[in-house]
Amino acid sequence: MKRIRVHSVEQYVAEIGPLMKEGLPMYRADDVEHGLLGVGFTGAETEVLISIQEFKETGDLVKYGELIEPYEPEGKKTQKVKAEKR
């Protein structure tokens, strides 16, 4: 199992995006004890982790939602978080 530790929302999406686009089954791979959010991909033997603090400091959910959208397979759009238009 390959575990990749990233330090920004951009890095997180860069690692998980291509695997999502392949349509590989995804699962939660959080490491709660160490304050890490993570996802893994069955078939790729890969887990990607980011600290909650770094996730919040480098973009949080709105930025993540915008960055991940192009990688989501058509018909399987899961991230609906968008910045509020004013």
What CATH number labels 2-71? Answer: 3.30.720
Do residues 41 and 25 touch, judged by C-beta distance below 8 A? yes
pLDDT tens digits along 44-82: 999 999 999 999 999 888 999 999 999 987 766 555 555
Do residues 29 and 46 touch, judged by C-beta distance below 8 A? no
Percent of the chain predicted with pLDDT > 70: 86
Handedness of CA 52, 56, 62, 66 (dihedral sign): negative
- Coil, strand or helix: which one is 4? strand
Residues linked to residue 48 through DSSP beta bridges, in sequence order: 4, 39
